[in-house]
Structure 1
Amino acid sequence: MLTKVALNNTDLTVSRLCYGTNMLGWMLDQGRSNAILDTFADLGGNFIDTARSYGDWSPDAPLGASERAIGAWLKTRSRDDFVIATKGGFFDMRAGDYRNRVTPEDIATDIAQSLDHLGIDTIDLYFLH
């Protein structure tokens, strides 16, 4: 079983291993994504890292493919059992918008999209990508 530690200066307890989900929802279909997330959770993992932009470089993937895959999986689990970290501010590859997207409006848009994709009300940790 994965050990858990307190994340300094927060009330969060996280598994020492954080699962990075770049491939979920576009290189791995929902079934395979679920199987990997199930295994991670069964081993005691609760710390999941994603980003609003993961999968966006594939023209065949839905926007926010990784977050969407995690959101679908979370519907089968207790949200309170997991710490979700996501990221925003990354340039918009599909729109060809390669500027730094770190204005308050950009961040608010990315957060709203992440919440929608993940199907959750709050993001535990948020980073600029």
Structure 2
Amino acid sequence: MNPVGENESYPRSGPTPSEPPPPEPPPVVSPPPGSVTPTAPAARVRRTRAGSVWVGLSFGAVFLVVLLIFVVQNTTSVRLGFLGWHFALPAGVAILVAAVLGALVMAVAGGVRIIQLRQSFSRLARTRAADTTR
């Protein structure tokens, strides 16, 4: 009994004498001398410190140009007061000084945290070294 169906035939698995033979593949042609041949994609180039520094400095330079444009366009003088001191600065310079002071506060807080982590890791390394010598 035919599992596909009683009236259906099995699919053919090869050419029959009435079918034409399959076409032959085209011949391989070598490129003329001096021409560029496509190659497989190259392996990914590893990132280096010098490359990372270059990218960071490039972004920093673009940021400084944008910052300079901001300061030059905001030259209107504003009166500021801080802990009893009163002074007048251009608005762009005042905002720039505030941003720099905020970055310094962040750097000090981050530095303190780094020191704490180094101390805790060195304590952990000392206790592990003492445990392995016992």
Query: TM-score category by the smaller chain?
Result: under 0.3
Greater relative contact order (CA < 8 Å, ≥ 6 in sequence)? 1
If the length of structure 1 is used for normalisation, what is the TM-score?
Answer: 0.21
Structure (1/2) with the larger helix percentage: 2
Rg larger in structure: 2
